[in-house]
Amino acid sequence: INKILHNYPRRSIMSFLEDRSKSDWQSLDSEHYLHPFTDHKDLGNKSRIIAKADGVYVYDIEGNQILDGMSGLWCVNIGYGRSELSEAAASQLNELPYYNSFFQCANPPSIELANKLDKITQKQFNKVFYTGSGSESIDTMIRIVRRYWEVMGHPNKKTIIARKNAYHGSTIAGVSLGGMNAMHKQGGPLLPGIEHVDQPYWFESDRSHSPDDFGKKVASQLEEKILEIGVDNIAAFVGEPIQGAGGVIIPPDSYWPEIQRICNHYGILMVTDEVICGFGRLGEWFGADHFQVKPDLMTFAKGVTSGYLPLGGVMVSEKVSSAIIDKGGEFAHGFTYSGHPASCAVAIENIRILDEENLVSRTKNEIGPYLQNKWKSLEDHPIVGETRMVGLMGAMELVPQKNSPQRFDDKSTAGMTFRNFAVNNGLVMRAVGDTIVTSPPLVISEEEVDELVEKAWICLDHTQSEMTK
Ligand code: PXG
């Protein structure tokens, strides 16, 4: 198996930072560095040191080539090694490395980017508020939504409805709005005024309804929640178009239109969290475009710069921005790095590349369908219960027995077995429990897709044999 996996051509790379050995890096890392979402007792001094990247591949400190089926953390949409972005950053850092956007100031890249974002978003959006990350975008969105209702004369409209198993970041607001039990258990108390309804996860349901009926049924929980809490207390509904970190939960087609209908009917704001789905991932500029809904606000980050520099933001519709501006006076909110000139310069260049290289329509019409088709063929494997994918964002469910609702048990190691074997054999994918997710760079070629799917099959074989042991 290892022979097959390593049979792909390797790119030569210069070894990186030769002044320390791999084990030196690892022990320094383990001495001084607290990593996000990491059990340090498990990690010990075995961290994987990634030193270089090009195209869809990353290279560890020893030069091993790994196909990045996750675009870093769902963000490197245009792939690694694009010198246009590093040059845009360098020239902006030389010109104006930093200035703030408080106190009636702005800088050219942040204005230019605001203008570009206006062009690629739906027409109700006319303004952007910049942040430094997805989590800050979520915090900002919550403050804007609540501020909107204050200035509209409805100060009790505070409650925001989100979904269980949603991921909206790691700040207190992000954790509270997200629906991850493991996160809710740590570091509370959480932010008040947040309610959760079920997620539209058909495969996890008892599958007694058709996906479309199931989508409508889950969406109707929003209406029940509004009636339970009282519409006078509800500010907004927030959802990822497709839940990413939760396991690429693709809602049935009936779901989002029903959510839109309910939000319109009760006059509450609808927010799509586009941190993963935005900037071409689903074959449209934004997830809301794919599901043909019209949100009042959209949060974004990640793909806006393809991860080359940190940047996030909130797109705000005319309706909301004009209320806050006309009725609200100063909005007391902002970050040191709101509208950071270098991040904005990189974002402008990133959007230019997405646009001029037709990467969004390529995802929708060419490479997306190409990967979707191959991904579907993984359903022939005995331990795959379902595959699903929109654009270049997909998942497969590992099951002990095909065509049965049974899952591996709660303590299942199937997903982890797959993931660890994959990364040791040149392929990065994420395991969310026993759901394997993928989200490769939008620039991936057909040959690289073939490599990804062939390697995934071999990882499935390995996982199956480990699970039967
Ligand atoms: N919203 C969504 C939909 C996200 O996916 C955030 C907000 C927060 O963004 P920041 O930039 O603050 O991290 C995210 C982030 C994973 C994983 O393992 C996913 C995210 C971040 C880290 C890990 O799937 N998504």
Q: Does the Cβ of 73 fall within 6 Å of ligand 1?
A: yes
* Contact call for residues 387 and 375 (beta carbons, < 8 A): yes
Ligand 1 site-directed mutation target among 37, 74, 416, most atoms within 8 Å of CB? 74
* Contact call for residues 237 and 431 (beta carbons, < 8 A): no
pLDDT in tens, the chain (469 residues): 454 445 444 444 444 455 688 999 999 999 999 999 999 999 999 999 999 999 999 999 999 999 999 999 999 999 999 999 999 999 999 999 999 999 999 999 999 999 999 999 999 999 999 999 999 999 999 999 999 999 999 999 999 999 999 999 999 999 999 999 999 999 999 999 999 999 999 999 999 999 999 999 999 999 999 999 999 999 999 999 999 999 999 999 999 999 999 999 999 999 999 999 999 999 999 999 999 999 999 999 999 999 999 999 999 999 999 999 999 999 999 999 999 999 999 999 999 999 999 999 999 999 999 999 999 999 999 999 999 999 999 999 999 998 888 899 888 899 999 999 999 999 999 999 999 999 999 999 999 999 999 999 999 999 999 999 8
What is the distance between the terminal CA atoms of the chain, rounded to a whole angstrom? 18
d(CA 167, ligand 1 centre) in Å: 7
Whether residue 36 has a cis bond before it, omega within 30° of 0: no
Q: Does the Cβ of 414 fall within 6 Å of ligand 1?
A: no
Q: How far apart are CA 427 and CA 65, in angstroms?
A: 9
- Its pTM stands at 0.96
Q: Does the Cβ of 138 fall within 6 Å of ligand 1?
A: yes
Which of 61, 37, 14, 77 lies closest to 305, judged by CA?
Answer: 77
